[in-house]
Amino acid sequence: MAPRTPNVRREIEIRTADPTATDDASTGILEGTTWVNTANGKMFVCVDSTASAAVWVRSGPARDTIRFQLNGKPTVSSGVDGAWIAPAAGVFRKVTLYRRTAGGAGSMIVDVNKEGTTIYTTQGNRPTVTQAGGDNQIDATTDFDVTTFGEGERTEWDIDQVESGNPQDATLDIEVEYT
């Protein structure tokens, strides 16, 4: 008797190539499985998992959220918490700054840089939280001037200004969509 292949549903496959007809039920993939190719950002859904004849349909763009984290007291600095290297070309969709504990006065202003250049040509659009806003403040923006990035390009965030006193903990989320 031949070994039985378990009928396991894989809800999402993260790979570096597009699916083929042989990415099918014999490999554990069932109809409805989502496949994300991180090399080119394309996303597919399996609509027929017949062995050696699977059918994959390209679906909407793949999205991702890149999180940069700073624990403790922020200081004016660049390249905070490393860099993100884009696995595929895409567009920036949203940038969200969160600061947990407010400082004594003033504002915290951050910048996002692609390949060392700000995506906020209009500097007044940079994410900003103020001491007056209190603890647990969020500023989400889509008002950046540079909207696209290429495969292999580096994205970092800088802290351009910090509140006085003892502000604590900051997180920056950058939502992207691969094209």
C-alpha angle 77/78/84, rounded to 5°?
140
The per-residue pLDDT for range 69-86, each reduced to its tens digit, is 999 999 999 999 999 999
First to last CA, the chain: 47
pLDDT at 5: 42
Dihedral in degrees, nearest 10, Cα atoms 49, 55, 59, 65: 50
The per-residue pLDDT for range 35-70, each reduced to its tens digit, is 988 887 788 999 999 999 999 998 877 788 999 999
For the full predicted model, state whether its pTM sits above 0.85.
Answer: no
Q: Where are the domains of the chain?
A: 12-58, 63-178
pLDDT at 9: 47
What is the mean predicted confidence (pLDDT) over 96-117?
Answer: 96
Average pLDDT, the chain: 90
3-state SS class at 152: coil
Here the tokens at position 148 are 């696209």
CATH fold group of domain 63-178: Jelly Rolls (2.60.120)
- Residue at token pair 């400082």: 103
Q: How many CB atoms neighbour CB 21 within 10 A?
A: 13
What is the mean predicted confidence (pLDDT) over 140-144?
Answer: 95
Residue 132 has pLDDT above 50, yes or no: yes
Residue 6 has pLDDT above 80, yes or no: no
Residue 159 has pLDDT above 80, yes or no: yes
The set of residues, in sequence order, having a beta carbon less than 8 Å from that of 75 and lying 6+ positions away, is 159, 162
Amino acid code (one letter) for 82: G
DSSP per-residue codes, 104-119: SBSEEEEEEEETTEES
pLDDT at 179: 74
